[in-house]
Amino acid sequence: MTYSKVSIIGQGYVGLPLAVMIVKLGVKVTGIDSNSNTIDFLNRGISHIEDVPSSEISAARASGLYEASSSFKNVSESDVVVICVPTPLNGQHQPDLSYLNSALADMSKFLKKGTLIILESTVSPGTTRNLVVPAIEKGTSSSIKNFFLVFSPERIDPRNLNWSISNTPKLVGGLTDRCCKMGMAFYSMFIDEVVECDSLEVAETSKLLENSFRLVNISFINELAIYCDKIGIAINDVIRAAATKPFGYMPFYPSIGVGGHCIPVDPVYLSHSARELDVPTRFLDLAIQVNNEVPKYFVNKAREKLGDLQDKKIMVVGVAYKPNIADVRETSVKPLIEGLIQDGAKVFWHDELVKEWNGQKSSKLTGDYDLAIIATQHDYIDLSQLGKIPLLVAGRVLR
């Protein structure tokens, strides 16, 4: 099976690296995105994603094999359409499928028969079958049998230098066996190991399990860190000691709480789906609760250090959800800052990767503060610039 044209809907942390990878195969790719600024930058060879250097975008543009567009018209000429749109949480902390619904409505108008359609966006089990199929049939006025439908969850970990698209095993579930085989053939062109799942639902649920597993263990470690703090020992020393066991243990590390596009979001999709089926997820719900309460703990720690937060100047170092990226999606620093402000503190933040966030700009690191809270320590950050002011380590310090 050969593919000459691919459309990738969504040119963010998932879609853009995928587009660049496919272009390197000599396949023409159209990156579709609703953000006009993103489209403009990409067509000028400028990347907005840390994992993709601008040089690679420029090379892809120069080859004539890549273009970014807000139009879905190129879908009509594509052999493969990959959907990589955000599926975040809404203001009520519930699954938000608005981006997916919009993409399905727009692309279905242009789908040609025989197209391989792949959903990579995280969804609740049953979504591909029960939402995507009807949307395609409605938009095309044609049976889903005229297309090949696959769910293949993304496994992108920004700034991970060891695991990339090509060497991270790829799961594929198909609406039919033929669909699955088509999806596996496509991904096998540029991924070392492609794993067949028994159904769409197995592939969908596996993604939710992966990140629910991480949330549960991180939440547990965060609780244990509070215990260790109370008895006067370092949680990282405990973790290092436990990690010497070569079997039955996997190290997880404390933080200010989890953030990003997966760990704080995917468990909510799983829990939401379970509630609709009247299936209890007490363990998972407790882990979500524990994670959400971690920022409050550090607000209390700040109060312990200063006695009173009223009018105290506090510097929060790093607002991205993890080191060395500018991604602030679901960052736990947000509720930390909100909690400090509610207690009367004057809060400033520093993050030269993020630069601007929530209508504010990054402040310089100086010793002119009553307290500094280290939330996310990027490699470039020099804590000595804070002078001798008190420090509170909330995130995992890299060095």
- So what's the pLDDT on residue 283? 93
List strands edge to edge, sheet with 313-317.
346-350, 313-317, 371-374, 391-393
- So what's the pLDDT on residue 221? 95
d(CA 253, CA 236): 7
- So what's the pLDDT on residue 399? 31
Q: Sketch the domain layout of the chain as residue ranges.
A: 5-198, 256-393
Superfamily name and number for 256-393: NAD(P)-binding Rossmann-like Domain (3.40.50.720)
Question: For the chain, which residues score pLDDT lower than 50?
Answer: 397-399
The CATH class given to the 5-198 domain equals: alpha beta
DSSP state string for 235-295: HHHHHHHHTT-SSS-------S---SSSTTTHHHHHHHHHHHTT---HHHHHHHHHHHHHH
Q: State pLDDT tens for residues 306-360.
A: 999 999 999 999 999 999 999 999 999 999 999 999 999 999 999 999 999 999 9
- So what's the pLDDT on residue 392? 93
d(CA 4, CA 201): 29
The yes-or-no answer to whether 5-198 and 256-393 have a common fold is yes
Query: What's the token pair of residue 328?
Result: 């602030």
Residue 180 catalytic? Answer: no
Longest dimension (CA), the chain: 69
- So what's the pLDDT on residue 395? 65
- So what's the pLDDT on residue 1? 63
82 alpha-carbon distance from chain centroid: 17
Q: Which of 179, 180, 197, 262 is catalytic?
A: 262
Q: What is the model's pTM?
A: 0.91
- So what's the pLDDT on residue 398? 36
- So what's the pLDDT on residue 18? 98
- So what's the pLDDT on residue 199? 98
